[in-house]
Amino acid sequence: MNLKGKKVLVVGFGKTGEALCDFLLTCKARVTVSEIRDNEDLSKRIIPWRKRGITFESGSHELKTFLGSDIIVTSPGVPPLPHFREAKTKGIQVISEIELAYRFLHGKIIGITGSNGKSTTTTLIHKILKEAGLSSKIAGNIGHPLISFVEESREDDWYVTELSSFQLEHIINFQAAISVFLNLSPDHLDWHSSFDDYFRAKTKLITAQKSDDFAVLNRDDPKIWSLSTSGNFNVFPFSRKQTLTYGCYLEKDRIILAGEKSRKLMKVTDIPLKGSHNQENVMAAAGVAHVLNIPLNSIKKSVLNFKALEHRLEKVLTLKGIEFFNDSKATNVDAAITALKSFNQKLILILGGRDKGGDFTTLKDLVRNKVKKIILIGEAAPLIRKALNKTVPMEDAGSLQGAVEQGFKAASPGDVVLLAPACTSFDMFRNFEERGHIFKHTVFALKEKISVKED
């Protein structure tokens, strides 16, 4: 693909947008950026890029800019603009960053998708490959944009890539040598027109695969498993609920890898991560390793040494017998449900943020059984209050800092104060990472405050 002299429009100018611009300039393309934001930070960031010859429009997306392009490359998270449809009707290609990267990349891709658990599974697969001596890079939604690896890529590299529905929406030729589809629940319904549309975007990762490729699929999810017959690729299933003659499954308290012979990987109690969902993440990662003929010891060692990722059921500290857990990455209702299921103790639950179209009523039964009190934050607080009416006591907090203090006051020794918002963070924070950091900082500050009082 020759981009020299081509008019390429980059839509969105975050981390991925910058990486795209850097690559496109090396290809001698004529680059324009369209960014809906228009603020002081952006004005400063674009100065060096203007000097390198890039044209910018900010504050709006102008249709004439889109229609005046040869190729449009969209960053993750850019919503489905009507301009994309207009451009396609004019014969202009609209592709995602991963699609552009794929067209130039040497090496093979392991693509991981699903509604929850992608980052943990991606990181674990990367660690297993490294432990086995393979050349592995971590890319996509976690790590660096795939496009940033192109120039130094080699044929023996493996690119373990976390993939969202946003990234998969605009692929054409993109093909993973190994795909992983972890789980499926309603998510990003503020972005996709429907749950079926969301699922359709995810399926593109699987249906693009060919006869030499492998799909590691969740056998327990009927919609995901329906993809097992959608092409001529090879399938490796994993299951917590069924015994498999081929695949990875749970037998009582043990994880079993079944192939020509069945082998015990480990006891579930040996997994250093909370929650049954992490058993599935481990099984999926083990499936990828099995496909690559990685020794059992390398898989087991990597799992045993694995640390929970930040903001994912991350224990912050114990204060006066009360545990604080940061699950800021629980940005949808299903992730919050998974978090609640991971605890036996009574919970003070911090919920809220910006709604993504989730159904908060599905939390009712778990809330009644496990939660003492809910502390509400953010834009979605009224929606959540209405959905969970007459379950447990609820109170509003004007800030996350206030929610932490209110949660501590409501808790007793042996309880857990859990941040599992079931919403995005964009109403109050830049991202879920900032929300998690502020939660942790507030918890540590609370500990200091109590220590000073006791002194």
Are 249 and 106 within one domain?
yes
* Mean per-residue pLDDT, 231-249: 97
Pairing label, strands 247-251, 254-258 = antiparallel
Residues 257 and 176: their CA atoms lie apart, in Å, by 23
* Averaged confidence pLDDT in the chain: 95
What are 351's strand-pairing partners? 376
Are 386 and 443 within one domain?
yes
Query: Token pair for residue 56?
Result: 């910018």
Question: Helices marked H in 235-315 — which ranges?
Answer: 276-291, 296-304
Are 55 and 113 within one domain?
no
The parent domain of residue 389 ranges over: 314-450
What residues have CB less than 8 Å from 358, skipping those under 6 apart? 186, 187, 189, 332, 333, 334, 422, 423
Residue-wise pLDDT tens digits, 12-51? 999 999 999 999 999 999 999 999 988 888 899 999 999 9
387: CATH: 3.90.190.20
Are 346 and 251 within one domain?
no
pLDDT confidence of 191, banded at 50, 70, 90?
A: low
Q: Is residue 359 part of a domain?
A: yes
Q: Is residue 309 part of a domain?
A: no
Residue-wise pLDDT tens digits, 206-233? 999 999 999 999 999 999 999 999 999 9
Lookup result for tokens 């228009």: 38
Q: Which of 304, 329, 351 is the last residue of a domain?
A: 304
Q: Which of 91, 112, 130 is the last residue of a domain?
A: 91
